[in-house]
Structure 1
């Protein structure tokens, strides 16, 4: 009985050492050496070098000079320089729920008032409500508004959309999407370079 108990304790300690210390430390080292950007949260700085968010989590953009993300049923962040709240999830409204219909109709009206062709992802939220991407069609639908607001041509902005379009996962899963945070940061860089060049 004592021998079996001693063996069980030793096995528990060995497993604890392997799974709680060695394996996590190994993954941490590999992540920092091979994939440092995603391992540290894919954090994106603004032009002043301050972290403004993660390329993996949607951010709220409401200004006309920026591309807008998908609508969200949760708040993306608490303020201009705040990190995302970490709260995610859909509204869970059934398709027949009047509140869902009201939200969608209000979103369509808002888009049409801004001369933006409503697309599916500009009307409907994602499952997590934190999707950082929009479709290429949704980006193209907004390009005229952003170009006018920034006093740029659509030809200036179109290459940036292509640059920040991410392909399907492993080439077969999902759809292509434009990362809104990275695209808007690139727009700020373009506008700054144009101002400095004048």
Structure 2
């Protein structure tokens, strides 16, 4: 037993030093970044919210983000783990499609963008595609009495190519887009 005691202690202390050093380096690197290691926060309707976590918007005057399998609970992120052939999952997706078409009646003939009916792997994706934002323009324009052209410009201003991959579609952060929408007043 004594033969194994010393290597165990040395290995444990070595791992504590290695993992501790890694933690200090990552923490220190986070503190020199522009946001000081804290997620970007935006104030919308008097509430501070994180722009890197998906938020739920249900009112017609706001753009809606991706559905969440975890009810937008950042403490318990995760997907639904239901496959594309699961009858329960297909029923949920069909319900989302029907709901979107009801909320956006002028778009009934258009194909619903997939990111408006499927949750992301974390259930907290803050971004939608430009097509998903454009799908909602008529509803938001009508609810706010704003021109469609103004909303298209707003979407263009708030779209970003955040992907490293070339030719990837541009995305729109829903919280930032809705905050910009509030600033149009």
Shorter-chain TM-score range: 0.7 to 0.9
Provide the rounded CA distance (Å) in 2 between the counterparts of 1:146 and 1:189. Answer: 14
Provide the rounded CA distance (Å) in 1 between the counterparts of 2:14 and 2:119. Answer: 46
User: What is residue 181 of structure 2 aligned with on the other side?
Assistant: 187
Provide the rounded CA distance (Å) in 1 between the counterparts of 2:138 and 2:183. Answer: 19
Return the match for 1:121 from 112, 115, 139.
115
User: What is residue 99 of structure 1 aligned with on the other side?
Assistant: 88
1:79-103 CA-to-partner distances (Å, cap 9, x unmatched) read: xxxxx43222222222222211211
Report how far residue 73 of structure 1 moved. 1.6
Matched residue pairs, number?
A: 178
Report how far residue 157 of structure 1 moved. 1.6
Structure 2 residue 152 is matched with structure 1 residue 155 = no
In structure 2, relative to structure 1, the CA distance for the partners of 1:128 and 1:15 (3 Å cut) is closer
With CA pairs under 8 Å and 6+ residues apart, which has the higher RCO, 1 or 2? 2
Equivalence map 1:48-197=2 (5 Å): 48=46, 50-52=47-49, 54-76=50-72, 84-114=73-103, 115=105, 116=107, 117=110, 118-172=112-166, 174-191=168-185
Return the match for 1:40 from 38, 41, 55.
38
1:39-79 CA-to-partner distances (Å, cap 9, x unmatched) read: 2022222253x412x22111110000100111222111xxx
In structure 2, relative to structure 1, the CA distance for the partners of 1:111 and 1:15 (3 Å cut) is closer
Provide the rounded CA distance (Å) in 2 between the counterparts of 1:182 and 1:72. Answer: 18
Provide the rounded CA distance (Å) in 2 between the counterparts of 1:168 and 1:36. Answer: 17
Provide the rounded CA distance (Å) in 1 between the counterparts of 2:12 and 2:116. Answer: 52
Q: Which runs of 5+ in 1 are unaligned?
A: 77-83, 192-198
Report how far residue 120 of structure 1 moved. 1.1
